Amino acid sequence: MLVETKRFGVLQVREDQIITFPEGLPGFPGQRRFVLVDLQEGSPLKFLQSVDDPDLAFLVAEPLTFFPEYRVLVQPEDLAPIALEMPERGIVVTIVSVPEDFKQATVNLKAPVVINPETALGRQVILEGEDYGVRTPLFVTG
């Protein structure tokens, strides 16, 4: 199918590439369908683009590239909505906020987005027990 976007033009997307978020995302409860857009092959940065709202996209980062120690520790019931029984099979990305100066970008490690590649279901989980911030600097500055 064709997905219209503000930043990437019209994307040709296979149905099986559409990730469904049954609960939407916090702040965007009505947005259920997204696609992961590769900025450039092999890049740890991608976009999570809404299928239904051309204007809505998030820059997302593969957290382990930037934070090798990062761990997503959740309860099994946190992953039940996306039918992910083996957490290590999930794809984890974290949402980046980009101020004018890209070097000041921050990433939300408190609430990673977990995707089950087998069911194409996604969920933004909240790591209740962990001491991760919602605005962790993505880059070491200075």
Distance CA 59, CA 108 (A): 11
Q: Write down the least CB distance from residue 122 to other proteins, Å.
A: 13
Q: Write down the least CB distance from residue 111 to other proteins, Å.
A: 5
Beta carbons within 10 angstroms of residue 68's beta carbon: 7
Query: Measured from the CB atom, is 16 or 131 closer to other proteins?
Result: 131
Q: Write down the least CB distance from residue 105 to other proteins, Å.
A: 9
Beta-strand relationship, 113-116 and 106-107: unpaired
Query: Measured from the CB atom, is 33 or 47 closer to other proteins?
Result: 47
Q: What are phi and psi of 18, to 5 degrees?
A: -80, 125
Q: How far is CA 68 from the centre of its chain?
A: 17
DSSP state of 79: H
Mapping DSSP to helix (H, G, I), strand (E, B) and coil, where does residue 48 land? strand
Binding site residues, other proteins, CB under 8 A = 7-8, 23, 25-28, 39-40, 42-45, 47, 56-59, 65-68, 77, 80-81, 95-99, 102-103, 108, 110-111, 124, 126, 128, 134-135, 138-140
Query: Measured from the CB atom, is 108 or 116 closer to other proteins?
Result: 108
Distance CA 51, CA 70 (A): 29
Query: Measured from the CB atom, is 16 or 115 closer to other proteins?
Result: 115
**CA proximity to 108, closest of 82, 137, 141:** 137
Q: Write down the least CB distance from residue 55 to other proteins, Å.
A: 9
Q: Write down the least CB distance from residue 126 to other proteins, Å.
A: 6
Query: Measured from the CB atom, is 88 or 101 closer to other proteins?
Result: 101
